[in-house]
C-alpha cells in the first residue's frame, strides 16, 4: 500500500489510500504506516478517500493510536464520510479518537 | 407298588474316597452352625483350596467369610442372611477375595436345616465359581450397550434427515424417539427448487443394526434413483414418484429378497404450486390427511406391496389435492402400536384425533403434542420400537419479491465483491430498494460475518466456498451465508471493550447492532448458516 504524507510543522498528515479498508487489506495498511508511526509523534490520518471500513480497519486505527500514545504522541482523524463515521460510532470509537472534519482543523488542533 | 431306591449292592465309600470326591467337584461345600451370636463355620470341603486357594483350616477361622467379601458386595451379602433365616433357602452372587488376592464371582446357595423341634440348627451350602459366566455376561451387556450406541449414531447420521426449515408454502417437522434397540425407520427430504418437496418415510422389517443398515441403504437408493432419472431427463421435467420408487425397487429388490427382509415406504411429492400431493404407498402406514376445510381427517392409502416382496414390481402413485391449513402426517407403526398398561394400542384413530385437535398448531408444535400424547398413553418413555413421524403443514405460499444467490471463495479479497452483491441486491428490490443507510449497515454486517467465516470457520483457508443467498420480502431483507467450515458459537465470544485497549473482537457485536436478527444455525444440508435479517420500513 502506497502511503502519502505531508508535513505541517511537526505534524504528519497521512492520507489513507483507497475506498475500502477491510480484513483483506488492513495488514498491508499496518505495514505501510509502521515506519511513519516510528518517525513521527504527531499525526493526522486523513480518511477522506475512505468509503468503507470494517472492524479490522477500526482495529488498525486503534493500533496507530496506541503506538503514538505509548511514546507520548497524538493521533487525530479527519475527513470521515458519514458511513465511516457511523461505523466508528457503532463501536463507540468516536469517544476514543479526536475527530475533525477537515485536515486544516485537525492540524490546527495540535497547536497550543 | 412303591419303588424304593436301594443302595447299590457292595458300593461303599471310604473316608479317603469321599474326601477325594469332595475335592474334585467344582464347588465348595460348607456347614455353618446357627448360634445366637452368629454362624461359626463347622466344616468346609477341601475343594476350597483348589477353587479359592485357602486351606480348609483358614476357611474355618471366625469372620473369614465376611473379611473376604468384596467391599461393594459385603453389606448386601450380610443383609441377605436374614432372608435365609426367614425363607430357609437363599441363592446369591457376590465377589469374593481368593488367597491370591484377586476377586472371583461366587454363587452361594445355602439352605437352613432345622432340628426335630423346628429350631434352626445349621446352614449347609455350596459355592460355585461363576467368574467366567459373569465375565461373559458383562461382555454381552457391553456389546448390547455398544450396539445401542452405534445404532443411535447410525439413526441420527444415516437414517434421519433434517426437515427443510424454509420451504415456501410448507412447514415440515420430524419426531424421533429412539427405542431400546434401534429399528430401521428412516426418512428423507428432497427439494426440487421452490416448487416441489419430496418426503420419503420408510421402515425396514426387523430390528437392530442389520435393519438400520438396510434402512440406510434403502434411503440412499431412493436418492440414487432420483438422480439417475433426473440426469436422463432432457427437458428438465422431474421424475415422477412412481418412476423413482419403481427404479429404486429394481435396484434393491434382489438384496432384500436374499436377506429375507422387506421395506415399507411412503414416497410423497408435494407440489406447492399445483397444490397436490402425489404419493406412492408401499405397504406403509396410511398417511393421515387433515383437511382444513372440513375439519376432519382422512387416510391416504395406496395398493402397492412393500419393497422386496417381488421382482419386477411396478409401483403406482395416487394424487390428492390440498389447501393451505391442511396437514399430512407420516408415521411408523412404532407410534400406533405403542401400548398402554391395559395392553391397548395407541392406534390410528387416536393419532388422527390428536392431529385434528392440534390442527391450529404449527408442524413442530403438533409433533411435540403427538409425542406427549404417546408418552402419556403408554406411561413410558422407553419404547420397544422406534417412534418416528413427519408432519407437513401446508401454508399460504409466499414467495419473496426477489431472490438472488452468489458464491465466493473464503479469501478475504472476496469481501469487496460480497459487499457489492449485497449492495446491488438491496438497491434493485422490485417496488423500491432498501434505504441507503440500511443497505450500508447490512453490507457491513455481511462483511463482518463473512470475515469471521473466512478467518475462524475456515481457519484462514482461502480455497473454500461460501454461498450467499439474498431474499427480499415486503417487510425485510434476509441474507444467508452458508459454509462448511467449523460451527460458530456467538455466545462464546466475550463482550467487546470500548475503551480503546482492545483492537479486535468487535465483529459479533457489530453484527448484532447492525441487523434486526442474527442467527447461527445448521441448515438441512449440514452446512453452517449465518442468517441476517434487516427490516424494511413498514409498507
The per-residue pLDDT for range B458-498, each reduced to its tens digit, is 998 999 999 999 999 999 999 999 999 888 777 778 888 88
Residue-level length of chain A: 112
Residues of A engaging B, defined by a Cβ cutoff of 8 Å: 20, 22-24, 52, 54-56, 58-60, 62-63, 65-66, 83, 86-87, 90-93, 95-96
CA B392/CA B170 separation, integer angstroms: 6
Question: Cα angle vertex B363, ends B360, B368, to 5°?
Answer: 95
CATH of residue B109's domain is: 3.30.450.20
Same domain, B93 and B162: no
For residue B168, the domain's CATH number is 3.60.40.10
> Is B7 a member of any domain?
no
Nearest CA in chain A to B444: A54
Distance CA(B476)–CA(B8), nearest Å, equals: 102
CB contact under 8 A, A54 and B437: no
Q: Is the pLDDT of residue B375 over 70?
A: yes
Shared domain for B315 and B371, answered yes or no, is yes
Nearest to B503 among A23, A62, A92 (CB): A62
B204 and B103 in a common domain: no
Query: What's residue B525's pLDDT?
Result: 66
Taking an 8 Å cut-off on Cβ atoms, the answer to whether B498 and A91 are in contact is yes
Interface touch B447/A96, C-beta < 8 Å: no
Write out residues 402-441 of B within 8 Å (CB-CB) of A. Answer: 411-413, 415-416, 419, 437, 440
Asked if residue B484 and residue B408 are part of one domain, the reply reads yes
Q: Would you call A55 and B455 a contact, using CB atoms and an 8 Å cutoff?
A: no
Kindly state whether residues B40 and B150 are assigned to the same domain: no
CA A32/CA B200 separation, integer angstroms: 59
pLDDT digits (tens, 9 = 90+) for B85-131: 889 999 999 999 999 999 999 999 999 999 888 888 999 999 999 99
- Pseudo-torsion of CA B49, B52, B58, B61, nearest 10°? -140
In total, the C-beta contacts within 8 angstroms joining chain A to chain B are 65
pLDDT tens, position by position, B14-64: 777 777 777 777 789 999 988 888 888 888 988 898 889 999 889 888 889
Mutate to test the interface with B, among A21, A22, A62 (most CBs of B within 10 A): A22
- Which one of B415, B500, B509 has the shortest CB-CB distance to A23? B415
Q: Chain A residues with CB inside 8 Å of B510's CB? A: 55, 90-91
Q: Is B365 strand, coil or helix?
A: helix
Residue of B nearest to A97 (CA): B500
Number of domains forming the structure of chain B: 3
Which residues of chain A are within 8 Å of residue B415 when distances are taken between CB atoms? 22-24, 54
Domain ranges of chain A: 4-108
Q: Is residue B9 over pLDDT 70?
A: no
Question: How far is the CA of B339 from the CAs of B226, B346, B366, B388, in angstroms?
Answer: 37, 6, 21, 16
Nearest CB to B415: which of A24, A93, A95? A24
Please indicate, yes or no, if residue B232 is contained in any of the structural domains.
yes
Task: Write down the pLDDT at residue B8.
Answer: 52
What range does the domain containing B117 cover?
15-129
Regions of chain A where pLDDT drops below 50? none
Question: What pLDDT shows up at residue B1?
Answer: 45
pLDDT (mean) for B206-213 = 82
Q: How many angstroms separate the CA of residue A109 from the nearest CA in chain B?
A: 21
Contact A23 B443 (CB under 8 A): no
Beta-bridge partner residues of B90: B110
Determine, yes or no, domain membership for B82.
yes
A59 vs B contacts (CB less than 8 Å):
503-504, 506
Q: Do A52 and B509 touch (CB under 8 A)?
A: no
Statement to judge: residues B224 and B321 lie in one domain:
yes
A contacts of B444 (beta carbons < 8 Å) = 52, 54, 87
Strands A52-53 and B276-282: unpaired
Q: Would you say residue B43 lies in a domain?
A: yes
B115 lies in the same domain as B176:
no
- The ipTM of this complex is 0.93
- Element holding B46 (H helix, E strand): none
pLDDT for res A3: 87
Q: How far apart are CA A65 and CA A71, in angstroms?
A: 10
Of B447, B455, B509, which is closest to A91 when you measure between CB atoms?
B509
- What is the structure's pLDDT at B4? 47
Report the residue of chain A nearest B506, measured CA to CA. A55
Answer whether B444 sits within 8 Å of A52, measured CB to CB. Answer: yes
Report CB contact under 8 Å: B448, A86: no
B128 touches chain A (CB under 8 A): no
Cα(B228)–Cα(A85) distance, rounded to whole angstroms? 56
Does one domain contain both B336 and B258? yes
User: Given an 8 Å threshold on Cβ–Cβ distance, is A96 in contact with B419?
Assistant: no
Rounded to 5 degrees, φ, ψ at B528 are -80, 145
- B451 vs A contacts (CB less than 8 Å): 22-23, 54-56
State whether A59 and B447 contact (CB < 8 Å). Answer: no
| Average pLDDT score over residue span B204-220 | 86
What pLDDT is attached to residue B2?
A: 44
- CB B443 to CB A52 under 8 A? yes
The pLDDT tens digits of the residues spanning B284-339 come to 999 999 999 999 999 999 989 999 998 989 999 999 999 999 999 999 988 999 88
Note the pLDDT of residue B5.
46
Cβ of B507 within 8 Å of Cβ of A55? The answer is yes
Task: Determine, for residues A90 and B514 on separate chains, whether the beta-carbon distance falls below 8 Å.
Answer: yes
Q: Is residue B3 pLDDT above 50, yes or no?
A: no
Q: How far apart are CA B73 and CA B53, in angstroms?
A: 20
Question: Residue B463 belongs to a domain with what CATH number?
Answer: 3.30.565.10
Joined grid coordinates for residue B210:
442389520
Mean pLDDT of chain B: 88
Answer yes or no: is B6 within a domain. no
What predicted TM-score, i.e. pTM, was given to this entire model?
0.59
Q: What distance in Å separates the CA atoms of residue B302 and residue B310, rounded to the nearest whole number?
A: 17
- Residues B187 and B275 grouped into a single domain: yes
Does some domain include residue B483?
yes
Rounded CA separation A21/A42 (Å):
22
C-alpha cell at B513: 447492532
Same domain, B105 and B252: no
Name the CATH topology of A4-108. Transcription Regulator spoIIAA (3.30.750)
Q: Measured between beta carbons, which residues in chain A are less than 8 angstroms from residue B495? A: none
Give the relative orientation of helices A26-39 and A55-70 as an angle to the nearest 10 degrees: 20
- Average pLDDT, integer, range B389-417: 93
Residue B3 forms part of a structural domain: no
Distance between A108 CA and the closest CA of chain B, angstroms: 24
Compare all CA atoms of chain A with the CA of B446 and give the residue at the minimum distance. Answer: A54
- With beta carbons under 8 A apart, name residues in chain A contacting B509: 91
Q: A95 contacts in B (CB within 8 Å)? A: 498
pLDDT at residue B538, as a whole number: 52
Other Cβ atoms within 10 Å of B249 Cβ, number: 30
3-state secondary structure at position B184: strand
Q: Do B500 and A24 touch (CB under 8 A)?
A: no
Same domain (yes/no): B377, B458: no
Task: Report yes or no on B10 lying in a domain.
Answer: no
- Bridge pairing between strands A74-78 and A42-46: parallel
**Does residue B158 share a domain with residue B33?**
no
Residue B504 contacts A where some CB pair is shorter than 8 Å: yes
Q: Are B290 and B297 in contact (CB under 8 A)?
A: yes
Amino acid at each position: 500500500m502506497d502511503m502519502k504524507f505531508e508535513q505541517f510543522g511537526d505534524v504528519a498528515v497521512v492520507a489513507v489510500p483507497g475506498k475500502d479498508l477491510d480484513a483483506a487489506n488492513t495488514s498491508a495498511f499496518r505495514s505501510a504506516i509502521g515506519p511513519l508511526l516510528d518517525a513521527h509523534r504527531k499525526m493526522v490520518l486523513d480518511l477522506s478517500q475512505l468509503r468503507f471500513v470494517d472492524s479490522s480497519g477500526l482495529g488498525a486505527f486503534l493500533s496507530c493510536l496506541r503506538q503514538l500514545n505509548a511514546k507520548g504522541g497524538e493521533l487525530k482523524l479527519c475527513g470521515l464520510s458519514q458511513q465511516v463515521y457511523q461505523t466508528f460510532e457503532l463501536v463507540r470509537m468516536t469517544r476514543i479518537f479526536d475527530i475533525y472534519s477537515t485536515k486544516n482543523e485537525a492540524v490546527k488542533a495540535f497547536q497550543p | 407298588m412303591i419303588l424304593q431306591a436301594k443302595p447299590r449292592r457292595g458300593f461303599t465309600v471310604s473316608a479317603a474316597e469321599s474326601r477325594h470326591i469332595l475335592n474334585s467337584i467344582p464347588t465348595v461345600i460348607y456347614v455353618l452352625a446357627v448360634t445366637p451370636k452368629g454362624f461359626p463355620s463347622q466344616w468346609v470341603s477341601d475343594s476350597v483350596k483348589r477353587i479359592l486357594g485357602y486351606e480348609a483350616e483358614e476357611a474355618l477361622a471366625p469372620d473369614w467369610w465376611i473379611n473376604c467379601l468384596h467391599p461393594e458386595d459385603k453389606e448386601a451379602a450380610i443383609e441377605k442372611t436374614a432372608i435365609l433365616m426367614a425363607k430357609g433357602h437363599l441363592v446369591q452372587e457376590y465377589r469374593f477375595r481368593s488367597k491370591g488376592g484377586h476377586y472371583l464371582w461366587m454363587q452361594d446357595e445355602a439352605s437352613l436345616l432345622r432340628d426335630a423341634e423346628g429350631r434352626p440348627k445349621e446352614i449347609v451350602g455350596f459355592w460355585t465359581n461363576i467368574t467366567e459366566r459373569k465375565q461373559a455376561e458383562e461382555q454381552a451387556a457391553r456389546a448390547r450397550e455398544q450396539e445401542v450406541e452405534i445404532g443411535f449414531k447410525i439413526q441420527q447420521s444415516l437414517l434421519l434427515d433434517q426437515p427443510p426449515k424454509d420451504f415456501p408454502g410448507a412447514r415440515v417437522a420430524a419426531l424421533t424417539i429412539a427405542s431400546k434397540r434401534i429399528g430401521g425407520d428412516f426418512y428423507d427430504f428432497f427439494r426440487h427448487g421452490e416448487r416441489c418437496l419430496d418426503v420419503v418415510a420408510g421402515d425396514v422389517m426387523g430390528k437392530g443394526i442389520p435393519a438400520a443398515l438396510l434402512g440406510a441403504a434403502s434411503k440412499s437408493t431412493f436418492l440414487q434413483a432420483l438422480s439417475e432419472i433426473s440426469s436422463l431427463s432432457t427437458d428438465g421435467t422431474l421424475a415422477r414418484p412412481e418412476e423413482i420408487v419403481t427404479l429404486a425397487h429394481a435396484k434393491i429388490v434382489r438384496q432384500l429378497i436374499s436377506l429375507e427382509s422387506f421395506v415399507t415406504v411412503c414416497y410423497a411429492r408435494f407440489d406447492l404450486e399445483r397444490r397436490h400431493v402425489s404419493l406412492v404407498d408401499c405397504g406403509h402406514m396410511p398417511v393421515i390427511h387433515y383437511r382444513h376445510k372440513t375439519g376432519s381427517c382422512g387416510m391416504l392409502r395406496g395398493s402397492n406391496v412393500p419393497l422386496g416382496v417381488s421382482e419386477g414390481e411396478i409401483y403406482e402413485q395416487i394424487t390428492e389435492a390440498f389447501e393451505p391449513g391442511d396437514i399430512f402426517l407420516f408415521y411408523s407403526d412404532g407410534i400406533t402400536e405403542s401400548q398402554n398398561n391395559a395392553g391397548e394400542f395407541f392406534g390410528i384413530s387416536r393419532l388422527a384425533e390428536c392431529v385434528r385437535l392440534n390442527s391450529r398448531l404449527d408442524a413442530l408444535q403438533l409433533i411435540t403434542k403427538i409425542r406427549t400424547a404417546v408418552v402419556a398413553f403408554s406411561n413410558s418413555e422407553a419404547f420397544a420400537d422406534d417412534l418416528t413421524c413427519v408432519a407437513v403443514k401446508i401454508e399460504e405460499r409466499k414467495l419473496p419479491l426477489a431472490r438472488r444467490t452468489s458464491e465466493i471463495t473464503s479469501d478475504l479479497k472476496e469481501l469487496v465483491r460480497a459487499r457489492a452483491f449485497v449492495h446491488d441486491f438491496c438497491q434493485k428490490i422490485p417496488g423500491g430498494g432498501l434505504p441507503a443507510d440500511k443497505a450500508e449497515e447490512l453490507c457491513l454486517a455481511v462483511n463482518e460475518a463473512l470475515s469471521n467465516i473466512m478467518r475462524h470457520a475456515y481457519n484462514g483457508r482461502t480455497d473454500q466456498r461460501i454461498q450467499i443467498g439474498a431474499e427480499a420480502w415486503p417487510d425485510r431483507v434476509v441474507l444467508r451465508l452458508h459454509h462448511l467450515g467449523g460451527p460458530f458459537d456467538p455466545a462464546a465470544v466475550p463482550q467487546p471493550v470500548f475503551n480503546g485497549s482492545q483492537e479486535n473482537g468487535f465483529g459479533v457485536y457489530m453484527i448484532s447492532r447492525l441487523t434486526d436478527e442474527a442467527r447461527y444455525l445448521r441448515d438441512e444440508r449440514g452446512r453452517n448458516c449465518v442468517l441476517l435479517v434487516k427490516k424494511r420500513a413498514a409498507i
